Amino acid sequence: MIRVLSVTSECAPLVKTGGLADVAGALPGALAPLGVEMRTLLPGYPRVMAAVGRGKAVLEDPDLFGGPARVIAARAGGLDLLVLDAPHLFGREGAPYNGPDGRDWPDNPERFAALGWVAAEIAGGALTDWQPQVLHCHDWQAGLAPWYLRDRHPQAPVGSVLTIHNIAFQGLAPGDRLARLRLPPDGMTPGGFEYWGNISALKAGLVAADRITTVSPTYADELLTPEFGMGMEGVLRARQDVLSGILNGVDLDAWTPSYKTPAGKRRYTARLRAAMGLPAADGPLCVVVSRLTHQKGLDLLLEALPRLLDEGGQLALLGSGEPGLEAAFRTAAARHPGVAVTFGYDEALARLLIEGGDAILVPSRFEPCGLTQLYGLRFGTLPLVAYTGGLADTVIDASPAGLRAGVATGVQFHPVSAAALSRAFDRLCALYRQPDLWLRMQRNAMRHPVGWDQSAAEYAALYDGLIRT
């Protein structure tokens, strides 16, 4: 049995803002059959505290970055949890990273430094009855944990791994917060956690962790380039011998369609059109479930949308994000009967979009892994994706070779531009007009492996290599 402490700022089903939560929530169950005992350290946000109840206090700290705190051991959501109950840091209304006004909490550096600090203490042996053999940290919010572990407990028999879910978020803090973050001055160097005069929690983890992973093999390669490395490519090139990509998977129990064949989608397509107020159409009903941001390429979709509509296609969108994009999609829906939008997030509607759509669109400029296209594959909703990151690793393009071999599961486009997306819409609609070919692709998609089996085995092997005797 390998004991692993997973450190994350969000974890489904308890608290979620994106794919990180889905991965953190799925890993323990996926790894348990492989002999991995994983406990998840999670901040005690109000909704988390409500879910775990009283629990059992297993660690106390009278002054954790400005106030008293304790760690509660509990089980909730099917997970073995260690919850950091620190009301002065996490007992607030709003989202995990920002308040009701949508602005980041100004003390986010301290809040997540506290998470990393406690993780390092647990890894260093602070609990009387359990010590991990591996410390698995997710994204910048846990990035300081490997640094604290190396700095405070260098003799601890614990290996560390940092997983980059999205390198665009780097956990920056002003350089004058060194003392407040309990960081040593000698770390404020280009070889340490210093980043253009700031402190970067992500860089601290990249420098200090024994291994670095990201969420797809292609994204691991992309991170070594200026185009995708977001300023961290030099650090990663220096450590590329310990960098690898392991694809995300999806929870097959939670994401199993009620229909066994593509024909079963028809009733959900009808329900989706009714729910979104869309008329019948000759072309494919394309769906989007996404944050509306530049990264996700939704501005490119707006530019290419006329081509889809001209080909008889439709668009149903659920998401929220940049006000300019929301306004532009609202205008598109007002002008075109084949476009329907809902802003915000609704889990039931998101599922209906994936169940009822003919194709799911992911035109991201970069995408570390992506889960949306995996849900699409699982439900026979053919992905149309940019050729980048995990999208390139998970969707088999309907190229002439892919079609001849009978293995195509979707449509890829490159470069990531509105013109290339328009051409992809031409291909998608041409495929849709060939029912037998479309059906074959749907069947391929629904058979495509999107679960955790292979990736869980890779994580288990990674952990095994980190065990120190």
CATH of the domain at 416: 3.40.50.2000
- Evaluate whether residue 257 is within a structural domain: no
Per-residue b or e along 218-242, where b marks 16 or more CB atoms closer than 10 Å to that residue's CB = bbbbbbeeeebbeebbebbeeeeee
- Evaluate whether residue 328 is within a structural domain: yes
- Quote the CA–CA distance of 152 and 135 in Å, as a whole number: 14
CA-based torsion, 149, 151, 156, 161: positive or negative: positive
CB 253 within 8 A of CB 262: no
* Mode of pairing for the β-strands spanning 339-343 and 359-362: unpaired
- Evaluate whether residue 167 is within a structural domain: yes
Same domain? For 151 and 293 the reply is no
- The pLDDT assigned to 53 comes to 87
The upper half-sphere exposure of residue 348, i.e. CA atoms within 13 Å in the direction of its Cβ, equals 2
- Evaluate whether residue 255 is within a structural domain: no
Same domain? For 130 and 212 the reply is yes
- Quote the CA–CA distance of 371 and 165 in Å, as a whole number: 12
- The pLDDT assigned to 253 comes to 86
- Quote the CA–CA distance of 26 and 13 in Å, as a whole number: 9
CB 95 within 8 A of CB 48: no
- Evaluate whether residue 254 is within a structural domain: no
Sheet with 159-164, edge to edge strand ranges:
56-61, 69-76, 79-85, 36-43, 2-7, 134-138, 159-164, 211-214, 243-245
Same domain? For 196 and 283 the reply is no
- The pLDDT assigned to 140 comes to 98
Same domain? For 107 and 127 the reply is yes
Closest alpha carbon to 154 in 468, 461, 465, 459: 468
Reduce the DSSP state of residue 71 to 3 states and report it: strand
Same domain? For 202 and 302 the reply is no
Has 16 been labeled as part of a binding site? Answer: yes
- Quote the CA–CA distance of 149 and 378 in Å, as a whole number: 40
Kindly report the backbone phi and psi dihedral angles of residue 430, in degrees, each rounded to the nearest multiple of 5, phi listed first: -65, -40
Same domain? For 290 and 352 the reply is yes
The tens-digit pLDDT sequence of the chain (469 residues) is: 999 999 999 999 999 988 899 999 999 999 999 999 999 999 999 999 999 988 899 999 999 999 999 999 999 999 999 999 999 999 998 899 999 888 999 999 999 999 999 999 999 999 999 999 999 999 999 999 999 999 999 999 999 999 999 999 999 999 999 999 999 999 999 999 999 999 999 999 999 999 999 999 999 999 999 999 999 999 999 999 999 999 999 989 889 999 999 999 999 999 999 999 999 999 999 999 999 999 999 999 999 999 999 999 999 999 999 999 999 999 999 999 999 999 998 989 999 999 999 999 999 999 999 999 999 999 999 999 999 999 999 999 999 999 999 999 999 999 999 999 999 999 999 999 999 999 999 999 999 999 999 999 999 999 999 998 6
∠ CA 274-279-282, nearest 5°, is: 125
- Quote the CA–CA distance of 37 and 261 in Å, as a whole number: 36
- Evaluate whether residue 256 is within a structural domain: no
Same domain? For 268 and 230 the reply is no
CB 255 within 8 A of CB 326: no
| Domain count along the chain | 2
Write the single-letter amino acid at 1.
M
- The pLDDT assigned to 300 comes to 98
Same domain? For 230 and 268 the reply is no
- Evaluate whether residue 366 is within a structural domain: yes
Same domain? For 306 and 340 the reply is yes
- Evaluate whether residue 73 is within a structural domain: yes
97 to 41, 88, 100, 169, 413: CA distances (angstroms): 17, 14, 10, 12, 34
- Give the total residue count for the chain: 469
Same domain? For 315 and 169 the reply is no
- The pLDDT assigned to 50 comes to 95
Q: Which residues contact 16 (CB under 8 A, 6 or more apart)?
A: 10, 22
Write the single-letter amino acid at 371.
L
User: Other C-beta atoms within 10 Å of 312: how many?
Assistant: 14
- The pLDDT assigned to 457 comes to 97
- The pLDDT assigned to 440 comes to 98
Enclosing domain of residue 206: 2-249+453-466
Reduce the DSSP state of residue 249 to 3 states and report it: coil
Same domain? For 341 and 443 the reply is yes
- The pLDDT assigned to 374 comes to 97
Reduce the DSSP state of residue 274 to 3 states and report it: helix
Same domain? For 234 and 115 the reply is yes
Q: What are the structure tokens assigned to 440, written together? A: 């074959």
Q: What is the DSSP letter of 105?
A: P
Q: In the beta sheet, which residues pair with residue 361? A: 384
Closest alpha carbon to 438 in 393, 382, 388: 382
CB 193 within 8 A of CB 199: yes
